[in-house]
Structure 1
Amino acid sequence: MSLPGVKVIPNPTFAELPDSYKLSAEQRKYYDDNGYFVIKELIDFASLYSYKQRFSQMAKGLVATAATIIKEPSLVEKKLNPEDYINKIQDIAYDDVFVQYAQNPRLLDVVSQLIGDDVTAVHSMIINKPPGTGRHPPHQDLFYFPFRPADKIVAAWTAIDDVTTDNGCLFVIPGSHKKETLYAHGNVPDSGKMFHGILDEDRVAPVGERVPLEMSPGDTVFFHPYLVHGSGPNVSKNYRKAITFHFANNHCHYIDVKGTVQEVAADDVMGVAKKKGFEIAYQDIWRYKSRLIKGVKSNL
Structure 2
Amino acid sequence: MYLLGPVPFLGIQFYHDNGYLVIRKLFDIPTLNTYRQRFTDVCEGRVEKGRVTVVKDRALAQTHARPEDYINKIQELLFDEVFSTYSEDPRLLHVVAQLIGEDLTAVNCMLINKPPGTNEHPPHQDLLYFPFRPADKILATWTAIDPVSRDNGCLYMVPGSHKPDVLYEHDEQVNSAKLFFFGIVNSDEVAPEDRRVYVEMQPGDTVLFQSNLVHGSMPNVTKTYRKAMTGHYANSSCHYIDVYGTRHEKLVRQMEAELRKRGSDLTYVDMWRIKTKPVRGVRSNL
- Normalising by structure 2, we get a TM-score of 0.96
Hey, what's the Cα distance between the residues in 1 that align with 2:130 and 2:264? Answer: 20
1:106 equivalent in alignment to 2:91: yes
Matched, 1:240 2:226: yes
TM-score normalised to structure 1 length: 0.92
Task: Write out per-residue CA displacement over residues 124-156 of structure 1, whole angstroms, 9 at most, x where no aligned residue.
Answer: 110011101111110001111000111111111
Equivalent residue for 2:138? Answer: 153
Q: Structure 2 matches for 1:224-263, cutoff 5 A?
A: 224-263=210-249
Structure 1 residue runs of 4 or more that deviate by more than 6 Å after TM superposition: none
**CA–CA distance in 2 between the matches of 1:79 and 1:200?**
34
Rg larger in 1 or in 2? 1
- Give how far 1:272 is off: 1.6
Deviation string 1:221-242 (CA, Å, 9 cap, x unpaired) is 0000110001111111000000
Aligned partner (choices 242, 250, 273) of residue 259 of structure 2? 273
Aligned positions of 1:166-205 closer than 5 A = 166-189=151-174, 191=176, 192-205=178-191
Give the Å deviation of 1:188.
3.0
**Given that residues 155 and 246 in structure 1 are in contact (C-alpha distance below 8 angstroms), is that contact kept between their aligned partners in structure 2?**
yes
Question: Which residues of 2 match residues 1-300 of structure 1 at below 5 A?
Answer: 20-65=4-49, 66-189=51-174, 191=176, 192-300=178-286
Q: Aligned partners of 2:204, 2:3: CA distance in 1, in Å?
A: 15
Instruction: Name stretches of at least 5 consecutive residues in structure 1 with no aligned partner.
Output: 1-16
Alpha-carbon deviation of 1:72? 0.7
Greater CA drift, 101-110 or 19-28: 19-28
Structure-2 separation of matches of 1:68 and 1:89: 6
In the alignment, structure 2 segments of 5+ residues that lack a partner are none
Amino acid at match of 1:78: T
Q: SS of 2:220's equivalent?
A: coil
**What is the distance in 1 between the residues matched to 2:64 and 2:143?**
29
Describe the superposition over 1:185-240 as per-residue Cα deviations: whole angstroms up to 9, x where unpaired: 11235644311000111111112211111100000000001100011111110000
Distance in 2, matches of 1:240 and 1:49, equals: 13
What percentage of residue pairs aligned between the two structures are identical? Answer: 52
Q: CA deviation at 1:175?
A: 0.4
Residue 41 of structure 2 aligns to a residue whose secondary structure is helix
- Cα distance in 2 between the residues matched to 1:265 and 1:120: 23
How far, CA to CA, are the matches of 2:53 and 2:168 in structure 1? 27
Structure 1 CA distance for aligned equivalents of residues 34 and 77 of structure 2: 14
Pairwise CA RMSD of aligned residues?
1.3
Aligned-partner residue type, residue 244 of structure 1: T
